[in-house]
Amino acid sequence: MSLIDQARAGDRRSIARLISRVEDDTEEGRRALTAVYPAGGAAWVTGITGAPGSGKSTLVDRLIRAAAAETAVAVIAVDPSSPFTGGAVLGDRIRMQDHTGDPNVYIRSMANRGHLGGLADATPRVVALLDGIGFGEILVETVGVGQAEIDVASSADTVVVVLNPGWGDSIQAAKAGLLEIGDVFVVNKADRRGADDAVTDLMRMLDLGPERSWRPPVVTTVATDGTGTEALWSAITDHRRHLEETGTLRERRRDRAVREIEAAIRTRLRRRASLGDASNEVLARVVARTVDPWAAAGTIVHTL
Ligand SMILES: Nc1nc2c(ncn2[C@@H]2O[C@H](COP(=O)(O)OP(=O)(O)OP(=O)(O)O)[C@@H](O)[C@H]2O)c(=O)[nH]1
Ligand SMILES: [Mg+2]
């Protein structure tokens, strides 16, 4: 049996090996993606994003339980590399460890290693791989800080934005650009004071935004004891139904394909964009100011 067949049959080591190849963008990884891509498109991709420590992993853990009753579930946890939150990585693993014995659930932590561009590139490929080998639900957890991670989150079918009670949390989220990308909003840690105010604040801010055919619901949860997490799962499935019934899903996935193709082109061009020996002559002319850098770039791109 080939590695791909073994992965399709649910063998974890084969899945892990394929993911590494795809993550590293090796020739074999590319071939694997080419092989599985036609079978993909059936997975529902849910992105979970929000501030560090807002309870994303605890919520993901709850969502795994809900989703695994229906289909095979894969989780990609994009580890925060920040030293301030680094300790939480271990916490993620411990919490999610409950599921390691469940053959229907596969969890992968993707190390960030301060290499955000690479991670932003690699995550959609890993999602496409997991989709193509038959996972029906893919949950992607990312910290909602920084453009690259917000891009990762916003390429999901359903984007869940996690906030907490507390003054100004929704303002922070607005500044980070999270209000525009959320399809479902969660005020988690509702066992703390101020949850109702946070919901009111958030709804007011959402009302200020552009009118959309889907009005993002706001769900309150206590992830640690499971309160509200069923309602969150329902909100995600409602959003899915909305996208499917209105035809918006096709549009959204088309936009995603455009972004992915463009990102892949940029990555390849970037790799070739360093000045090789051939360009020394051009460089010399720029230094001598007989050619400007922009015209020089035009000439070089033309020869690529
Ligand atoms: N009181 C309370 N604590 C919670 C709740 N949900 C999560 N926590 C706690 O908040 C802390 C952070 O939870 P995580 O699920 O690791 O949060 P995260 O957003 O995944 O964190 P990072 O991945 O580090 O950004 C943990 O100590 C959780 O037990 C909640 O609803 N109420
Ligand atoms: Mg986490």
Q: If you measure from the C-alpha of residue 57 to the centroid of ligand 1, how many angstroms do you get, rounded to a whole number?
A: 7
Using CB distances shorter than 6 Å, the residues near ligand 1 are 52-58, 80, 85, 88, 91-92, 143, 188-189, 191, 222-224
Helix (H) or strand (E) holding 179: helix 178-181
CA 294 to centroid of ligand 2, rounded, Å: 43
Contacts of 218 (CB under 8 A, 6+ apart): 185, 186, 187, 199, 202, 203, 206
pLDDT given for residue 61 in this prediction? 93
pLDDT of residue 88: 43
**Which pLDDT score is estimated for 127?**
95
- List the chain domain ranges: 37-248, 274-303
Is the Cβ–Cβ distance between 79 and 23 less than 8 Å? no
Among all bound ligands, the one having the nearest atom to the CA of 160 is 1
Question: Strand 44-50 to strand 137-143: parallel, antiparallel, or no bridges (unpaired)?
Answer: parallel
Atom of ligand 1 nearest to the CA of 52: 25
Token pair for 58: 């605890």
pLDDT at 118: 62
**Quick one: pLDDT at residue 275?**
66
- Separation of alpha carbons 298 and 301, rounded Å: 5
DSSP codes of every residue in 215-278: ---EEEEBTTTTBTHHHHHHHHHHHHHHHHHHTHHHHHHHHHHHHHHHHHHHHHHHHH-S--GG
139 neighbors 76 (Cβ within 8 angstroms): yes
CATH 3.40.50.300 fits 37-248, yes or no: yes
E strands in the chain: 44-50, 73-78, 105-110, 137-143, 158-163, 184-188, 218-221
Q: Specify the pLDDT at position 270.
A: 79
User: 60 C-alpha to center of ligand 1: Å?
Assistant: 11
C-beta separation of 197 from 165 below 8 A? yes
Per-residue pLDDT of the chain (304 residues; tens, 9 = 90+): 899 999 999 999 999 999 999 988 899 999 999 999 999 999 999 999 998 889 999 999 999 999 999 999 999 987 654 443 333 444 455 455 556 667 789 998 876 544 545 666 788 999 999 999 999 999 999 887 777 777 777 789 999 999 999 867 788 888 888 888 999 999 999 999 999 999 999 999 999 888 888 999 999 999 999 999 999 999 999 999 999 999 999 999 999 999 889 988 887 887 777 666 556 788 889 999 999 999 988 888 887 7
CA atoms of 247 and 242, how far apart (whole Å): 8
Mutate to test the pocket of ligand 1, among 81, 98, 224 (most ligand atoms within 8 A of CB): 224
**Residue 241: what pLDDT?**
97
Distance in Å, CA 93 to ligand 2 centroid: 9
